[in-house]
Amino acid sequence: MTTRALRRPVRPSPMALAAAALIAAAVAGASALAAPAAGPEAALLQDSEIVVNLAIEGTESAEGLAAFDATVRFDPAVVAVEGVAPGDALPEGSDWLDPVPDGDDGVFFGSYHEGDGPPGRDGTLATLTFRVLGSGAANIRLDRSASGAYDASGGSIVPPARMALVGLPVAPIYLPVGRR
């Protein structure tokens, strides 16, 4: 698996942005993580996209966000990862760590920051785009046992419980009969 450094966030696809807008509306409130999971209520068609955000809160009271990593799991028979892009919570000039598979049902990704500068903040750490492959429950979830946020020394700054996926599909993904 190759890695590359992205000095600025990658712009997600228009569809992802649309979905993210829906998510943002859904999660707007006192806490980025307090809102219930939200997302398309209608069945999604094969080859359509699902966009979810990985959000974090509680960074203001910690040492300062410099890095994070996360493992997101899913049902590989239902969805596949199309891409993972950095979010707006990361410090300016962060270096992106390209996603790597974590078994058959997971993806591991993250970022770090070298040098001085203001730390990151509460908000979106990453935006994940999935493509629908088949019918069933996508079961997209954050593996908190393999996720964390870190300060400039690499020390953990907030419990993984302060990280969450937002914008998850509420209902299972159905494919219309005859579509496949």
Partner 1 sequence: MNRTRSRLAALALTLVVTLGAASGLRSLQGAPSGTNAIATVGRVSATGPGAQVVHTLPLSNTGETAVEFDLRVVDAGDWPVELPDTIYVDAGAATTVTIAVDVPLRAPDRATDVTTVALGGDGAPVVRLVAWTGGTFDMTRTLGCRFDVVPDGAIDAGDVGLVRDRFGARRGDERYAPALDFDHDGRIGAADVQAVAGRSGAACASTDVYDSAVLREAVTATNIREHLEGLQAIADANGNTRAVQTPGYELSVDFVVRTLAETGWDVTTPEFQYERRVEVSPGFAERIAPDPLVFPSAEVVAFTNSGSGHVTATLQAVDVVVPPSAAPNGNTSGCEPTDFAGFQAGRIALLQRGTCPFQAKVLNAMTAGAVGILIFNEGQTDRTAAYRTSVGPLVGVPVIMLSYALGQALVDQLAGGADVTVHMAADWQATTITHHNVIAEWPHGDPDRVVMVGAHLDSVPAGPGINDNGTGSATLLELARQVSIADVRPPNRLRLAWWGAEEIGLVGSRAWVAQQAAAERDRIILYLNFDMLGSSNWIRGVYDGNASLSSNAAYPAGSAQVEMSFQDYFDGLGLTHNQVAIGSRSDHAGFLASGIPAGGLFTGAESPKSPAEFALFGGTEGAPLDACYHRACDTIANVDWTVIEEMSDAVVHVTLGYLHDPVFGLAALRAQPVGGSAASVEAADSAAGALGGPLLVADENWGCHGHGPFHSHDEDF
Task: Write out the binding residues for partner 1, residues 57-76 only, by CB under 8 A.
Answer: 63, 66-69
Indicate which single residue of 24, 77, 100, 137 sits in contact with partner 1 (rule: CB under 8 A). 100
CA distances from 12 to 18, 56, 82, 84, 162 (A): 10, 19, 11, 9, 24
Minimum CB distance to partner 1, residue 141 (Å): 16
Q: DSSP H helical segments within the chain, as ranges?
A: 14-27
* Residue from 119, 148, 167, 169 binding partner 1 (CB under 8 A): 148
| Residue type at position 30 | A
Q: Rank residues 155 and 176 by Cβ distance to partner 1 and give the closer one.
A: 155
- CA pair distance 117, 66, nearest whole angstrom: 10
CB of residue 129 to partner 1, shortest distance in Å: 19
Segment contacting partner 1 by CB under 8 A, of 9-17, 53-61, 106-114, 166-174? 106-114
Cβ partners under 8 Å of residue 134, min gap 6: 46, 77, 78, 175, 180
Phi, psi dihedral angles at 72 (to 5 degrees): -115, 130
127 binds partner 1, rule: CB under 8 A: no
Amino acid at 121: R
- Return residues touching partner 1 (CB under 8 A): 1, 3, 63, 66-69, 95, 97-98, 100, 102, 108, 110-115, 145-148, 150-156, 159-160
